[in-house]
A and B are shown apart, each in its own frame.
Chain A
């Protein structure tokens, strides 16, 4: 028995050391890579962003609000906190984390989608948060994954399981085999992709969609926004453009707009709805039905912030 236990102990220890070592290599590799929005989480956690304007939202915030143009147009510093594939609960956690570590912004522009208050299972691409598990807010985001057994987040290597390729990316990030992702500028990811799907096929591809609003989630959003206002932060809600053929397929958009309008009035929040703007008719400004490309973003930014300047005048 002693021989068995001794050998088991030695082999297990050796195995654990190898796993810990490789786990650290992966973690460091990912942290210094351009994978997804990793650089954003690094910057937020390190602190010192000091932006006057903070853009919050999903991928539609991430790729449709260019801080460079915003800064030019408004003269205020800006940072884009958009999280790809996120809905309100994760967005709130990231805002809280940002406020913990960085200077309070003057304005938060919340990019709202018709899906923002939908109850979705899991966190899209959550593996990018795993190197930051030491942050309680990040842990809370990961805990939103209903299908996930969180105990595995403590096991070296296995904790990156959701997306196995991230392990390779972490290991190879310092080599010439590393995979390069587009770099973020102040949290913004630009896309020069184009979209050539014939309009008559869009309905077939997407189909009619109705969004189920989780009212409990929406109430929490209103409470959170109110608490931000009491901290002296100005809030603005923006629905950025959808491509018109896509927007037409959203069946209950009116009721969502009405709900947002009503609460915006009550809370004295500026609510700008560009979901069906003239930009929406130009397919060359989009890279899919819900996201604009770089060209579309510059048109939208100019329109949005010229409007703001006009309002100020």
Chain B
């Protein structure tokens, strides 16, 4: 079910009303109902793949319990409580090979990564192996499988893995409530495209009595509204221009290609951050707070800042579960560079079974490492608090945005060769052709409006939620809604880009 579909428009109010009016009295009933609703939400796409979510949840629930039991029985003495996160594993955790907890972590890792490997990467590995063998002169006959990629598999497997790892590390108590745990894994607002929640943030919310808060509900609605604007007005209109350019880049002019890359940057941002906004907003309607996933990343002044603002839930996941365990930056420079490369390449590969994503990750690593080496990767931890950026900041932002756009070409292209072809053609025939289909004037206005509002609201979680005065606020909500129906793309329903990951 898509957030921008007619079905969801009916689904959401029904689930909302039943949740708060029928199941309000019992937390367990509310959780069970949310689980049911989540499975309906997911099953609407393809009910057969519900089995994978259930299996993934069951394995991690079981492994979590077992790790918890072993932790208590072996009396290793580490603190398995209060959901606090220790960044570094304790000495006792490192001894866990002795008490068998590692076995259950291994089961959890193998199962979840195995699911991913099979459903997402099997054909890629086979094809890549065949290509590799072909380069040394053999012609292998390796057959691929016709595998459907289950929607959201990369998101929910990573979410449930975070639980297993946190329990293993002793940062989190395993839960004994299967309904709460299964709902945590399948929670429909963020099931298929994140934010990838940490068990330590989301799971405890399933054990807390939820009371409808006006402010939380109101903030939720505003986020949904703004998320829909980003998706249906910005992203989908940009897609109408971007898709033909990328499909026919061989015949496009240089300016068209530059335009295509820039508009794709807006498309993917509108699409993905729009989804995240709607997800966070919907969760708020049910009394849950999800983590922020985007903080105006295109106003970043360098790549390091960009990665603190783009897909935050994924970048922090890799930081905590890959980068820090590898030693992070507290190792030799060579090892630190290796760690950065690993994290960026794995992060790219997480997006899809294609060399283009690996190249995208590699480019970001290559852009990040020089900043890291000169010790400036934490130079822009705080946003400036001024109304307009200085000339220097503006230059830094534009440069960062340009570099990000170049990397996006790899992300969007079908093959690395296509991406390379796309970029190399930028310098050929730079003039715009007569028949160039460019954004309509109205959508150009929408884009400028969008950028302006993003800039003004860059310190806040949602500019709509911060409007003061009812004579200003309510017209703003209605105008935003009106612009969605007037400028939005409806008839060609567009899936969210991140569904494919």
Contacts and interface: CB of A to CB of B under 8 A. Distances in A.
Contact of B482 (A15, A151, A168): A15
In this complex, the member of A152, A156, A165 whose beta carbon has the largest number of chain B beta carbons within 10 angstroms is A152
Interface string A1-15: 101100110010011
Contacts of B5: 149
A167 B483 CA distance: 12
Contact of A152 (B6, B212, B477, B482): B6
Contacts of A168: 442
A190 to B, nearest CB: 25
Nearest to B480: A15
B489 A161 contact: yes
Given A11-B474, A15-B482, A1 B492 contact: no
B95 interface: no
Interface stretch (B42-50, B213-221, B361-369): B213-221
A158 B485 CA distance: 5
B390 interface: no
A131 to B, nearest CB: 15
A19 interface: yes
A213 interface: no
A151 B2 CA distance: 14
Contacts of A14: 478
Contact of A149 (B440, B442, B491): B491
Interface in B196-241: 212, 214, 217-218, 221
A19 B493 contact: no
B474 A3 contact: no
B491 A165 contact: no
Given A1-B20, A18-B482, A155 B221 contact: no
Given A15-B478, A15-B481, A18-B482, A152 B487 contact: no
Contacts of A159: 490
Interface string B481-501: 110011111111100000000
A148 B492 contact: yes
A161 B487 CA distance: 8
Nearest to A149: B493
Nearest to A126: B491
B212 to A, nearest CB: 5
Given A11-B474, A11-B477, A161-B491, A1 B442 contact: no
Nearest to B237: A164
Contacts of A157: 482, 485-486
A165 B440 contact: yes
- Chain A binding surface SS class: helix
Given A3-B214, A164-B440, A11 B478 contact: yes
Nearest to A150: B491
Interface residues of A, number: 28
Contacts of B221: 8
A2 B362 CA distance: 52
Contacts of A268: none
A161 B474 CA distance: 25
Contacts of A8: 221
Interface in B1-46: 5-6, 20
B481 A149 contact: no
A295 to B, nearest CB: 26
A4 B440 contact: no
Nearest to B478: A15
Contacts of B217: 1, 4
Contacts of B490: 149, 152, 155, 158-159, 161
A42 interface: no
A162 B493 CA distance: 11
A175 interface: no
Contacts of B212: 1, 4
Nearest to B486: A157
Interface in A128-172: 145, 147-149, 151-152, 155-159, 161-162, 164-165, 167-168
A162 B491 contact: yes
A35 to B, nearest CB: 17
Interface string A184-221: 00000000000000000000000000000000000000
A288 to B, nearest CB: 14
Nearest to B481: A15
Contact of B491 (A7, A148, A156): A148
A129 to B, nearest CB: 13
Contacts of A167: 486
Nearest to B20: A1
B6 A151 contact: yes
A156 B214 contact: no
A48 to B, nearest CB: 33
Given A1-B20, A7-B218, A157-B485, 7 more contacts: A3-B214, A8-B221, A14-B478, A22-B486, A149-B493, A157-B486, A165-B440
**Closest 9 pairs between A and B when the two form their complex, measured CB to CB:** A161-B490, A151-B6, A158-B490, A152-B490, A157-B485, A161-B491, A1-B212, A4-B217, A158-B485
15 contacts: A1-B212, A8-B221, A15-B478, A22-B482, A148-B492, A149-B6, A152-B6, A155-B6, A156-B485, A157-B485, A157-B486, A158-B490, A164-B487, A165-B440, A168-B442
